Structure 1
């Protein structure tokens, strides 16, 4: 191993990228239905590699964490501020209750078992699977004014406790949200989703589950020849469309071999070939009035388009799809069909009583001019660009770092957000402003995801490489105790919040409740399990609200634990 030690001395960045590669390989190993994940794997790999002997400059760690935490705030900003309203009071209360109960649980465990600040913060980070706590707690420790060696030892303890407790932290959330909660509610997640979808559909049938495609598509295009005996001959385009509640659109007409524009006042004649686009269930009933269906579409075919728009229309936040349709002028909605809705990157059910929130991404289907008009009216078109606005991003991170330098003394105790809290705050603000003013600040989802994945994994790897030698000693001394405390900190706040949600907040649908609870713990693996069992996007709405709040509240537990233990 001497040659490897020499390589790491000459090129320490080699150890960093080796940790990432090995860590993500470890993270893909399945333990039943559970995976450790890339971040946890990178930490374990880095600790193992550190035994050879390597040190990474702490500046690398600071940069990686700054870009990671800013990207988290940027992505959560629109949904975070959008969540702070009367209609989401239950979700706000649940996220706050879990964060507070988790904080109290960690502090009590630390006091009873004599854990130092580092081990307590790491316990919170791993048991609550909030990796950002490693950074915010480490930053808070660095600002305590302790001797360099003592501060480094405490920061090492953060990573150690995190590594020991993280695995059950993920598994425990899955057990509670996917297995215990449905039994507690006496209702399976699939049954609960069907009930919720039936309500959202106004009593009608629910749509396909997330990732499924109906064999009978909702939107279809068909060509008809108008006959003298049909109800269409002698009626205008607008009259026919309105007769079917604007659920069909006549896109093109061919008369005497020539294509005509389907203006609202054009009257149809026997022999006309018309191209009709609309919802399948309406098309079936309308077909009898239109004439005979034909396969000959030469000269009337129209290129249809999908566009994605971000919903930001003023005065329409929290409006149902049915109410939006009733409110919007017919000329605005003409020829436009909502095909998909996603919130925080997750699918939402496209049903009449689904409430639209600012920041939702709506996929509309129709002719190019109709879809362009619709996305402009709803908010703004989601830009298909792979270029990041680094001016906007750079200013945001600089402001966050400057805010992190501010220290306020309360009763002689220094209080500061630190670089992590500062960048999280500016990320939230800049992400929210981007949603309101889309002319600047572009950060494509893929770029944001790269910053989050690479930033956090590299940060954790540096922590593991720099503290791995001390980690082995601490695990030998108190590894079992930390693990058992991690089990308790994982389960107790979750179960307590489950009782709070059922008997105080009055959640009565298991699928919605499971989405809210997994979001309150920012537990993505648990939410994935909830969606898998629910076979529906119904839990997404509650998850999106609590997840955005938990990303902020749980991240801030790092400096709070450091300050209170």
Structure 2
């Protein structure tokens, strides 16, 4: 044990990564339908490792959490701002219910068990994992008119109550928001997240990494011309089930230039490209299909193009296509339309709005020609725009320093709330200006996963030893009361959400619930279960409100406990 303590004293960062490794290993085990998960596992592992004695810089915790919450906000910014409005009433009510039920629970416990105001405020701060309550409660205690030594004793009790209850406040929120919520609703977060994503996509099929359709919509097929006389332009115009273009012609084993006025001869080999049904239908009238022909292959590209030309904005698809010349459209196919990171079904009545991105398919020269009129090509890159995101996190942390005072009560978003707000804003800006702010999916995933798990592990490493020691000294009563403060408000909010607000999607419900409790570790586990960003929009709304509502509990507990 002394050797381990010496190692961790020399290199405390080892404790952090050991907690992550051990925590994610523990999180893989299943007990029936219950699984702890990597985030909760990291917290538990960190508490165990902390008993050796670890001194690690608190700045690491702040950096890790800022990275996590900024990445979450950046990914969800476009969707978040689209979700604001009357549809956010549920989230506002959820945040209010959690705050009010938390206040009521703490006040009742304090009176029944005769806790002083300091311990009561500590229960609120730790059981609801809102560290800002320590500050607001401490300030309120100073205004009670008590003797200096009594003020100091009560403020110390705030810290004691917080230290004892904070670990379960984090751990218990994960269990409640993930496992208990799924049991109560009889639904799975993953299944509902997929369902909500499909509804959002409105039937548009999205393929994951390594996936592709067995029967792709756009194809190229080779045919041998059976009869002479038809011109290339006439052949393309005769397609009845969609657009088809002749991309290559081979005559007597030599390639010839493709021209609309060129008359095809019997025996010519042609490459037809277009929608599968149209190519198959037209090819049957051309002649025999060939499985292969040397020199007939053509390189095709897919390019995402940001629609910036006002000529195409705020018009429907049919209107735009009707206004384009045949020469402009020749050989270029619209594969997809994206809006705020979400695929949009392409129908004649679909409106094109600023910020939309169209995916074009065709030969490099045809796509380049079209993109020069439509807007800038978004070049795929695995590089992160550190100028953009470094500025984003800086702005967020500066916002977190701002303090608004309601009387003597300081209200602040803190570094977490500021980073989240900046992430939302910068993510929204990226959806409007696609040529800046690149953040590859793999990089974003690493920021989220490492940021959250590392933050939670830091909480365990810094608070675990003190919490266990305090429980040993004070007895388990305070710890058990903290469990009640953690569980009861969440349980009330669950019942309110199910029977009053009538959440019909547990992934959205879980995001709203975890945000209303400012339960970042729980939210991270919810994201992991969901496998997509569906829970993020409700979380962002309730999290912002919770930072205000829960912070206000400090002086309220002091007043009523």
- The TM-score bracket by the shorter chain reads 0.7 to 0.9
Q: Distance in 2 between matches of 1:318 and 1:140?
A: 48
Q: Would you say the 8 A contact 2:69–2:420 is kept in 1?
A: yes
Structure 1 residue 46 displacement after superposition: 1.0
Q: Which residue of 2 aligns with 1:226?
A: 225
RMSD of aligned residue pairs (Cα, Å): 4.6
Q: Deviations over 1:204-247 (max 9, x none)?
A: xx9698787544333332111222289x6675355145x3332x
Q: Which residue of 2 aligns with 1:564?
A: 553
Q: Deviations over 1:177-208 (max 9, x none)?
A: 663999xxxxx9799899979x956xxxx969
Q: Distance in 1 between matches of 2:296 and 2:91?
A: 54
Q: Distance in 1 between matches of 2:323 and 2:496?
A: 42
State the secondary structure of the residue aligned to 1:179.
coil
Q: Deviations over 1:359-389 (max 9, x none)?
A: 7877654333445567777765554333333
Q: Distance in 1 between matches of 2:339 and 2:72?
A: 18
Structure 1 residue 550 displacement after superposition: 1.9
Structure 1's unaligned 5+ residue stretches are 125-133, 183-187, 532-539
Matches within 5 A, 1:455-494: 455-472=451-468, 473-474=470-471, 476-479=476-479, 482-483=482-483, 486=486, 488-494=488-494
Q: Distance in 2 between matches of 1:464 and 1:360?
A: 44
Q: Would you say the 8 A contact 1:304–1:366 is kept in 2?
A: yes
Q: Distance in 1 between matches of 2:91 and 2:333?
A: 37
Q: Would you say the 8 A contact 1:310–1:360 is kept in 2?
A: yes
Provide closer, same or farther for how the CA distance between residues 24 and 261 of structure 1 changes in structure 2, counting only shifts above 3 A. farther
Q: Would you say the 8 A contact 2:161–2:478 is kept in 1?
A: no
Q: Distance in 2 between matches of 1:529 and 1:454?
A: 16
Matches within 5 A, 1:437-452: 437-452=433-448
State the secondary structure of the residue aligned to 1:236.
helix
Matches within 5 A, 1:184-223: 214-223=213-222
Structure 1 residue 47 displacement after superposition: 0.8
Q: Would you say the 8 A contact 1:396–1:430 is kept in 2?
A: yes
Bigger mean CA offset, 393-402 vs 493-502: 493-502
Matches within 5 A, 1:348-363: 352=347
Q: Distance in 2 between matches of 1:171 and 1:356?
A: 42
Q: Would you say the 8 A contact 1:207–1:349 is kept in 2?
A: no
TM-score (norm 1): 0.74
Structure 1 residue 303 displacement after superposition: 1.6
Tell whether 2:67 aligns with 1:70: no
Tell whether 2:163 aligns with 1:158: no
Q: Which residue of 2 aligns with 1:172?
A: 180
Match of 1:338 among 303, 312, 335: 335
Provide closer, same or farther for how the CA distance between residues 216 and 393 of structure 1 changes in structure 2, counting only shifts above 3 A. closer
Q: Distance in 1 between matches of 2:306 and 2:62?
A: 33
Q: Would you say the 8 A contact 1:224–1:290 is kept in 2?
A: yes
Match of 1:384 among 380, 384, 389: 380
Structure 1 residue 355 displacement after superposition: 8.8
Q: Distance in 2 between matches of 1:451 and 1:354?
A: 35
Q: Would you say the 8 A contact 2:61–2:454 is kept in 1?
A: yes
Q: Which residue of 1 aligns with 2:148?
A: none
Q: Would you say the 8 A contact 1:237–1:264 is kept in 2?
A: no
State the secondary structure of the residue aligned to 1:388.
coil
Tell whether 2:286 aligns with 1:290: yes
Tell whether 2:410 aligns with 1:434: no
Q: Distance in 2 between matches of 1:313 and 1:39?
A: 46
Q: Distance in 2 between matches of 1:356 and 1:480?
A: 57
Matches within 5 A, 1:21-420: 21-84=21-84, 89-90=86-87, 92-114=88-110, 116-117=120-121, 119-120=123-124, 123-124=127-128, 137-138=130-131, 141=134, 152-153=159-160, 156=163, 157-175=165-183, 179=187, 214-228=213-227, 235-236=233-234, 238-241=236-239, 243-246=240-243, 248-262=244-258, 268-308=264-304, 331=328, 334-338=331-335, 352=347, 365-371=361-367, 381-420=377-416
Provide closer, same or farther for how the CA distance between residues 42 and 118 of structure 1 changes in structure 2, counting only shifts above 3 A. farther
Structure 1 residue 14 displacement after superposition: 2.0
Q: Across the two proteins, how many residue pairs are aligned to each other?
A: 516
Q: Which residue of 2 aligns with 1:131?
A: none
Structure 1 residue 327 displacement after superposition: 8.1
Structure 2's unaligned 5+ residue stretches are 111-118, 140-151, 515-522, 555-561
Q: Distance in 2 between matches of 1:375 and 1:390?
A: 27
Provide closer, same or farther for how the CA distance between residues 457 and 514 of structure 1 changes in structure 2, counting only shifts above 3 A. closer
* Structure exhibiting the larger radius of gyration computed from Cα positions: 2
Q: Distance in 1 between matches of 2:193 and 2:188?
A: 15
Q: Would you say the 8 A contact 1:170–1:525 is kept in 2?
A: yes
Q: Distance in 2 between matches of 1:382 and 1:275?
A: 29
Q: Distance in 2 between matches of 1:8 and 1:219?
A: 58
Q: Distance in 2 between matches of 1:356 and 1:500?
A: 38
State the secondary structure of the residue aligned to 2:296.
coil
